[in-house]
Structure 1
Amino acid sequence: MRLRLVIATLALGLGSATRAEDLLQVYAQARAADPVLAAADAQLGIQREAAAQARAALLPQWQLSATETRDQQDGSRSRTLGSGISQTLFDLGRLRTWDAERALESAQDLRVRAAEQALCARVATAYFGVLSAQAALATTQANEEAFSAQVAQAQKRFEAGLSAQVDVDQARAYHALARGATQQARQLLADAREALAELTGHPPGELKPLSAALPATLPQPAQAQDWVDAALNTNPQLLAQARVVDASEQRIGAARAAHWPTFSAGVESTRHSGAGVSEDQRVGGTQLTLRLTVPLFAGGASQSQVRQAGYQRDLARDDYETARRALVRETQAQYHAVVSGVFLLDSSRAAVAAADQALASTRAGQGLGTRSMTDLLLAIQTQAAAQNAHDEARHGYVLARLLLLQAAGALGEPELAAVNQLLGDH
Structure 2
Amino acid sequence: MNMQTFSYLWLALLCLPVSLYATTLQQAAQAALAHDSVWQASRQTSEADKQKRWQGLSGMLPSLTLESSWDRQQQPDKKYQSGVTSHSYGVQLSQPLFDISKYAGWRKGAAIAATAEAQMRQAQEKLLAAVANAYFSVLYQQEVLRAAQTATRQFAQQMKQLRAGAENGLNTRIEVDEASANYAIAQAKEIEANSQLLLAGEALQRLSGLNSVALEPVDFRCLNALPYPSLADALMASQQRNSEIRLATSHSAQADADVLAANGAHLPAASLYARYGKNWSRSDNSDNLLYDAIFGTSTKTSNLQYGVNVSMPLFAGGSQLSQSFEAAHRREAAKYSLQEAQRKAAEETRAAWLGLTNGSALIDAQNHAVDAARAKVVSVRYGRELGFRTVNDEMEAQQKYFAALQDLAAARLNYLSALVSLAQSTGALSLAALHDFQCR
TM (norm. structure 1) is 0.85
What is the alpha-carbon distance in structure 1 between the residues aligned to residue 44 and residue 222 of structure 2?
40
> Offset at 1:166?
3.5
How far, CA to CA, are the matches of 2:321 and 2:223 in structure 1? 63
Q: Distance in 1 between matches of 2:241 and 2:21?
A: 38
- The corresponding residue for 2:91 is 83
Q: Distance in 1 between matches of 2:29 and 2:97?
A: 51
Which residue of the other structure, out of 417, 420, 423, is the alignment partner of 2:438? 420
Change (3 A) 1:19 1:262: same
Matches within 5 A, 1:129-278: 129-211=137-219, 216-217=224-225, 220-222=228-230, 224-274=231-281
1:370 deviates by 3.5
Mean Cα deviation higher: 346-355 or 48-57? 48-57
Which is worse superposed, 252-261 or 42-51? Answer: 42-51
> How large is the Cα RMSD of the aligned pairs?
2.9
Q: Is 2:332 aligned against 1:314?
A: yes
Give the drift of 1:190. 1.5
For 1:374 and 1:19, how far apart are their aligned partners in 2?
40
SS in 1 for 2:265: helix
Q: Structure 2: how far apart are the matches of 1:305 and 1:218?
A: 50
Is the partner of 2:143 in helix, strand or coil?
helix
- Residue 234 of structure 1 aligns to which amino acid in structure 2? R
Give the 3-state SS of the residue equivalent to 2:300 in structure 1.
Answer: helix
Q: Find the aligned partners of 1:69 and 1:197 in 2 and give their Cα distance.
A: 67
Distance, in Å, in 2 between the alignment partners of 1:43 and 1:149 is 60
Contact 1:17 1:205 survives alignment (8 Å): no
Please name the residue that 1:99 is paired with. Answer: 107
Q: Is the 8 A contact 1:24 1:420 kept in 2?
A: no
* Aligned residue in 2 for 1:355: 373
The change in CA–CA distance for 1:219 and 1:368 in structure 2 (over 3 A counts) is same
Long gaps (5+) in structure 2: 1-17, 77-82, 285-295
> What are the residue-to-residue correspondences of 1:258-407 with 2, within 5 Å?
258-274=265-281, 282-407=300-425
Amino acid at match of 1:103: A
Q: 1:382 deviation in Å?
A: 0.8
The CA distance in 2 between the partners of 1:281 and 1:392, in whole Å, is 93
The more displaced of 155-164 and 94-103 is 155-164
1:213, 1:64 → 2: CA distance? 69
Tell me, yes or no, if the aligned pair for 1:219 and 1:338 is still in contact at 8 Å: no
The residue aligned with 1:7 is none
Output the CA distance in 2 between the equivalents of 1:26 and 1:374.
45
Q: For residue 149 of structure 1, report the CA deviation from its aligned partner.
A: 1.9
Matched AA of 1:260: L
- Whole-Å separation in 2 of the counterparts to 1:334 and 1:104: 31
Q: Counterpart of 2:330 in structure 1: which amino acid? A: Q
Does the CA contact (< 8 Å) of 1:141 and 1:182 recur in 2? Answer: yes
Q: TM-score, normalised by structure 2?
A: 0.82
Deviates more, 1:353-362 or 1:399-408: 399-408
Distance 2:53 2:26 in 1: 36
1:22 is aligned to 2:24? yes
Deviation track 1:202-229 (CA, whole Å, cap 9, x = no partner) reads 323511223486763456423x233212
What is the Cα deviation at residue 117 of structure 1? 4.2
Please report how far the alpha carbon of residue 192 of structure 1 lies from its aligned counterpart in structure 2 after TM superposition.
1.6
- Mapped to 1, the partners of 2:338 and 2:148 lie a distance apart of 46
- Which residue type is aligned with residue 49 of structure 2? Q
Distance 1:214 1:376 in 2: 37
The unaligned stretches of length 5 or more in structure 1 are 1-15
2:162·2:175 contact (CA, 8 Å) conserved in 1?
Answer: yes
Instruction: Note closer, same or farther for the CA distance 1:285–1:216 as it changes in structure 2 (3 Å cut).
Output: closer
What secondary structure does 1:260 align onto? coil
Q: Which structure has the bigger radius of gyration?
A: 2
Mean Cα displacement is larger for which, 47-56 or 310-319? 310-319
How far the C-alpha of 1:66 sits from its partner, in A, is 3.8
Q: Check the 8 A contact 2:141/2:196 in 1, yes or no.
A: yes
Residue 297 of structure 1, CA deviation: 1.6
CA distance in 2, matches of 1:108, 1:45: 7
Structure 2 counterpart of 1:133, one-letter code? Q
